Amino acid sequence: MKNESISDKIKSQVSEKRWKHIQGAAETAVKLAAAYGVPAHKAELAALFHDYCRSFSKEELNGYIDRIGLDDIYIDNVALSHGKAAAHFMASHYGITDDDILNAVSYHTTGRSGMSMLEKIIYIADAIEPGRNYEGVEEIRKLAFVDIDEACRRSLEMSIQFVKNKGELLHSDSVRALHYFNEKKLNKK
């Protein structure tokens, strides 16, 4: 299935606001892919699906989490579970089997240690797409095209602080990802 027909299908399943975000993330991902030598079609496909399940109700998502056997940590947590659900959905409903694409979707909210370039691109594209407006986003936008590892590190720092400030569950993948990028930064010196 071509990305254009997938795009039409996803557009019909999400809100207008969510679609605008998805489009912005996809456009940003394609630009980052060009900058870092990643196939544009892979970046676009992952970005198109990254928030596919974000609009599911908590009940729908919980049912899906239960059916696919995800850990209980994901129950009642749309922010953490929607990427995992979307990756599973891509594989089961669209036959997408490229692990790099599936991982990019699965880990786009938390990051993880040892992220591939595509995973970094989707993580950052989600954070810096043109519709995002938060303190520090401009700095990360600039860094993304110069040093994607540092952009990921700074974005993770901000995300972790945001989650802590809200008193929400901080996933260990995010902590391990930040540690990974901190180590990479130290090793560059």
pLDDT at residue 108, rounded to an integer? 98
Return d(Cα 56, Cα 52) in angstroms, integer. Answer: 8
* pLDDT tens, residue by residue, 176-187: 999 999 998 888
pLDDT in tens, 115-133: 999 999 999 999 999 999 9
What is the reported pTM? 0.94
SS3 at position 51: coil
Calpha distance 120→164 (Å, rounded): 22
Q: Which domain holds residue 72?
A: 3-188
Sites in the chain below the pLDDT cut of 70: 1-4, 189
Q: What is the pLDDT of residue 55?
A: 86
For residue 185, the model assigns a pLDDT of: 86
Distances (CA, A) of 86 to 13, 79, 92, 161: 13, 12, 10, 25
According to DSSP H, which parts of 15-171 are helical? 16-36, 40-49, 58-68, 78-94, 99-106, 117-128, 137-144, 148-166
**CATH code of the domain in which 149 resides:** 1.10.3210.10
Report the pLDDT value the prediction gives residue 1, as an integer from 0 to 100: 54
Q: Are 29 and 51 in contact (CB under 8 A)?
A: no
Structure confidence at residue 187 (pLDDT): 86
The full length of the chain comes to 189
The count of domains in the chain is 1
pLDDT, residue 5, reads 85
Contact indicator for 81, 44 with CB cutoff of 8 Å: no
